[in-house]
Amino acid sequence: MASKTAANEHHGFPWKHLIGFVLSIVLTLFALWIALETDLSMTWILIIIFGFAFLQAALQLLMFMHVTENSTKSNLTSRVQIGNILFAAFVAIVIVIGSVWVMTAGHAKHDKHQHAPNTENHEDHGDHGGGSEHDSGDHGDHGSH
């Protein structure tokens, strides 16, 4: 690893690319099959297809984008590159899971509260149609906000 400079891999047949490509196709089709053709529970489907997505992203980074490649003899550049991408991935996961959690878990409670008979003076719900408040729990008529 320490001596893996950019120099080493540009001769001969591009096996790394071919392997990356074949694995990407396999992961894509397998994810599609898991999602549409199996009877697994929703939770398992989500875990598996997102696991495949991250695996495939890692394949692109390693096989196609040469993220571990160093421009100099020290491996400083690859450490910066990998560290930066991992940190960005962490930020992305926090943004997505955090937003979904805040806006769905928290919001469901809020909705329940709203359905109680004596909450009509909640200031931020003035534009809800009066008669439709009870329909479909959480996802009814919010789309127009």
- Residue of 61, 111, 114, 133 interacting with other proteins (CB under 8 A): 61
CB-nearer residue toward other proteins: 51 or 122: 51
103 binds other proteins (CB under 8 A): yes
CB of 2 to other proteins, least distance (A): 14
Whether the CB-CB separation of 57 and 85 falls below 8 Å is answered with no
Please report, as residue ranges, which positions from 64 to 83 form the binding site for other proteins (by CB under 8 A). Answer: 64-65, 67, 71-73, 77, 80-81
Q: Which is nearer to other proteins, 45 or 133 (CB)?
A: 45
CA distances from 89 to 32, 65, 79, 123, 134 (A): 23, 16, 15, 37, 39
Least Å from the CB of residue 119 to other proteins? 21
Burial of 78 (0-12, 13-18, 19+ CB in 10 A): buried
Rounded CA separation 6/127 (Å): 60
Q: How far is the CB of 118 from other proteins (least distance, A)?
A: 26
CA 59 to mean position of chain CA atoms: 16
- Close Cβ partners of 59 (under 8 Å, ≥ 6 residues apart): 20, 23, 24, 27
Residues that bind other proteins (CB under 8 A): 5-11, 14, 17, 20-21, 24-25, 28, 31-32, 35-36, 42, 45-46, 49-50, 52-53, 56-57, 60-61, 63-65, 67, 71-73, 77, 80-81, 84-85, 87-89, 91-93, 95-96, 98-100, 103-104, 138-139, 141-145
